[in-house]
Amino acid sequence: MNQENKKLIYDTYEKPPLGEWIILALQHVIAMFGATILVPILVNKAAHAEVMSIPTALICSGIGTLLYILATKGKSPVYLGSSFTFIAPVAAVFVKDGISGVATGIVSVGLVYILFSFFIKLFGKGWIHKLLPPIVVGPMIMIIGLSLAPNAIAQIGLDNGAIAWQSIFIAIVSFLVTAVVAIYAKGIFKVIPFLIGIISGYLLSASLGLIDFSLIKDATYVSLPRIVLPLKDYSFSLVGMLTMLPIALVSISEHIGDHMALSSIIEKDLTKDPGLDRTLLGDGLATTFAGLIGGPANTTYGENTSIVGMSRVASVWVIGLAAIISICLAFLGKVTAIFQTIPDEVLGGVSLLLYGFISVNGLKVLIENKTDFNNIRNIVIVSSMLIFGLGGAIITLETNNLSISLTGMSLSAIVGIILNLVLKDPNENTIFKRIKNLFRKD
């Protein structure tokens, strides 16, 4: 078939010639790189400790994507990278229970994905939409972004009233460059605004003499990533598991949405072939592996889905090579050192947009699904979730030997799910309709 008449230049099963193959794979690496390495950086800043490393995140991204390809039989051109959804809960869990809580929580999330994949295989996918409708998922996503807002403000230095002009200048430039690229850029630059914003802020900081390059100079060209292992470096943490499990529901919703979007791009229903059970299984295996070695949870990357749409290349061979390149980058010590020298002001300026984007995505879920806020039931669910999620509410369960606290996003997710199941919609319930009609004026 003539390529000009094809929707895709390369279909999922087709392998490009070597030269094109490498170039197309590098394009995907560039698209995922900024977001993937930004997650461990922001987690460490939020926790004020070395929780995760950039090389480990790159390894988890690469191996996780290969596991996904294996689980989906090479039928879905999805790239997996570090999930922003878990930045706040990971930082909070680390403060409570160290790396044991973080690793246990992320492994638990991965196992929930796998469990859901088996349920979908047995019972179909309709029950997921009943458990996680837009009225619950939207506020959960909003809370994730809004709860991180104080971190961005603190990184810039706007939380204490006194700030140097260099700091505010660097933050503003990083913010504006990211915004301008996101709005006006074309092609591949359109999907990497945060990476370009970080590079711009970094170069400005260097020109002002605010970066200590000794860390880069002292770093080796090749280094071994820091890996943590179960039993040896951490043990099971009930606190970590219970804190992060509700957040898995948000990621599952995002997973479904991303695969539906990609399905429309390549004109193949990925939720049917290879099937949502297999795609969730792949995501679950990737996240479980990440948790086991101390890396961030994985998620499907919209940046790479955009690359598939723009390039019209859906080749899983290209995705696989990008994953292998990501693994190789993890062993380059100089590259890691460069990112460790990024000033807080740069990260804060970029994060102003990033966390805002996350919050607005939650609002977008409500708008796109035409949520009716004239319906008091919907207002009760959303408002309750926002107050529990952002108001600092804490519920502590204590036994003789254990104390478990549900806070923020975890508590909000539980509240939203329960309210949605318990509070019946008066517009859909016959009894409520009859009562309502009693007071209706003809």
Q: What is the pLDDT of residues 168-198, one digit of tens each?
A: 999 999 999 999 998 998 877 877 888 888 8
Neighbours of 221 (CB within 10 A): 9
Peptide bond into 274 cis (omega under 30): yes
Q: Which of 107-116, 129-138, 267-276, 301-310 has the highest mean pLDDT?
A: 107-116
Q: What is the dihedral of CA 252, 254, 256, 259, to 10 degrees?
A: -130
The predicted model scores a pTM of: 0.79
Question: Is residue 163 very low, low, confident or very high in pLDDT (cuts 50, 70, 90)?
Answer: confident
pLDDT at 428: 67
For the chain, domain boundaries:
3-370
Handedness of CA 193, 199, 204, 205 (dihedral sign): positive
Q: Which of 91-100, 306-315, 334-343, 349-358 has the highest mean pLDDT?
A: 91-100
Handedness of CA 182, 184, 190, 196 (dihedral sign): negative
Handedness of CA 8, 13, 18, 21 (dihedral sign): positive
The 10s digit of each residue's pLDDT in 127-153 is 877 888 889 888 988 887 888 788 888
> Which residues neighbour 130 within 8 Å (Cβ) at sequence distance 6 or greater?
none
The stretch 372-391 carries a mean pLDDT of 92
Q: Among residues 86, 145, 90, 107, which one has the least CA distance to residue 299?
A: 86
**CA 235, CA 228: separation in Å to the nearest integer?**
11
Q: Is 268 helix (H, G, I), strand (E, B) or coil?
A: coil
